[in-house]
């Protein structure tokens, strides 16, 4: 009875106020009561955000794919790493040009298939680009390079066997490419390993960000690990969040002072390459 009387009262109020039903409908369906100008503005904002995300995702994917072709990394510092990267680029260009000239159609399909597989394996970079997430794309692209080199040798085998000069040039080019690729990969691995040193300033800063809850959402770190992390940070002079912010400011404003300590590593230092760099 109470329910029926309540419904009757609402019906009477709706009859006395013709726009009452529209008001209730607008609450249930907000989009119906929005003005056309507001709809256009909302659509423009959504389009701009979608365009920004698309550009950012495409750039992250492109960087991941390019970095997967370089055993020594996409970003380089110093003359030695730059020279190795340039030699590797010249080797890749030479291999691809000769391969496309002499390869059979079946081998070309295998090469393109391996490259497509590498691009597919790099797709997670669209969401979150991570340097340690390009291992599988790198493997796929290295397989493509191996297919190209083997096909070139198979097609040029008669000339390689009959001409000593041609054989010497072919072996030299392949050897230089392999040596440069392996050397670049080993050097990059050594540099990346610097990040895990206990006195690495970047590692100390990121650990402090987690342990002292400097993110908008606190990280779920177990108490035992958090206490161990506090003790590890205290050993290098980081006791609270203010110390973490101070370290971040020093790294940003005076990175040269920390880079000079990289050889000794007796105090906080900056590694040559960031762990998360491509």
DSSP string, 60-86: HHHHHHHHHT-TT-SS--SHHHHHHHH
The tens digit of pLDDT for each residue in 190-244 reads 888 888 888 888 888 888 888 887 777 777 778 888 888 888 888 888 888 888 8
pLDDT, mean of residues 25-48: 55
Residue 267 lies in a domain: no
| DSSP 8-state assignment for residue 269 | B
Number of domains in the chain: 3
The reported pTM is 0.69
Q: Where does a domain end: 31, 62, 93?
A: 62
Shared domain check, 201 and 143: no
| DSSP 8-state assignment for residue 134 | -
183, pLDDT greater than 50? yes
Phi, psi at residue 94, to the nearest 5°? -65, -45
Cα dist from 174 to 46, 77, 94, whole Å: 51, 25, 10
- Comparing 37 with 197, the larger pLDDT belongs to 197
Containing H/E element for 146?
helix 135-155
As a whole-number percent, the residues of the chain with pLDDT over 70 amount to: 81
Q: Label residue 53 by pLDDT band (50, 70, 90).
A: low
Shared domain check, 69 and 56: no
The C-alpha torsion from 263 through 269 and 274 to 275, rounded to 10°, is 90
Shared domain check, 139 and 97: yes
Q: 77 in helix, strand or coil?
A: coil
What is the rounded distance in angstroms from the CA atom of residue 234 to the CA atom of residue 24? 60
pLDDT, mean of residues 3-10: 40
Shared domain check, 28 and 89: no
Shared domain check, 147 and 80: yes
Which pLDDT score, from 0 to 100, does residue 278 have? Answer: 76
165, pLDDT greater than 60? yes
Shared domain check, 123 and 161: yes
Which residue has tokens 């230092």?
269
- Comparing 115 with 274, the larger pLDDT belongs to 115
Radius of gyration of the chain (CA): 30
208 is written with which tokens? 């402090």
Shared domain check, 148 and 74: yes
User: 209 lies in which domain range?
Assistant: 197-259
């Amino acid at each position: 009875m109470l329910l029926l009387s309540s419904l009757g009262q609402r019906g009477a109020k709706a009859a006395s106020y013709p726009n009452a039903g529209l008001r209730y409908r607008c609450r249930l369906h907000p989009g119906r009561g929005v003005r056309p100008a507001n709809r256009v503005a909302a659509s423009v904002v959504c389009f701009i955000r979608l365009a920004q995300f698309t550009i950012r995702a495409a750039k992250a994917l492109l960087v991941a794919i390019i970095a997967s072709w370089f055993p020594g990394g996409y970003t380089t510092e110093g003359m030695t790493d730059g020279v190795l990267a340039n030699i590797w680029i010249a080797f890749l260009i030479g291999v691809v040009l000769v391969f496309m000239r002499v390869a059979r159609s079946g081998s070309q399909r295998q090469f393109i298939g391996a490259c497509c597989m590498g691009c597919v394996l790099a797709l997670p970079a669209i969401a979150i680009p991570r340097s340690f997430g390009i291992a599988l794309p790198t493997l796929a692209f290295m397989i493509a390079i191996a297919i190209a080199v083997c096909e070139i040798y198979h097609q040029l085998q008669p000339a390689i066997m009959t001409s000593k000069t041609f054989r010497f040039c072919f072996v030299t080019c392949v050897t230089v490419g392999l040596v440069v690729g392996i050397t670049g990969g080993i050097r990059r691995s050594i540099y990346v390993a610097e990040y895990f040193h206990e006195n690495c300033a970047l590692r100390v800063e990121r650990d402090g960000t987690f342990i002292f809850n400097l993110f908008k959402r606190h990280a779920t770190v177990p108490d035992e690990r958090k206490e161990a992390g506090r003790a590890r940070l205290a050993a290098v002079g980081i006791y609270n969040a203010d110390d973490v912010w101070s370290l971040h400011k020093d790294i940003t404003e005076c990175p040269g002072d920390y880079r000079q300590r990289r050889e000794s590593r007796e105090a906080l230092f900056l590694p040559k390459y960031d762990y998360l760099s491509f």
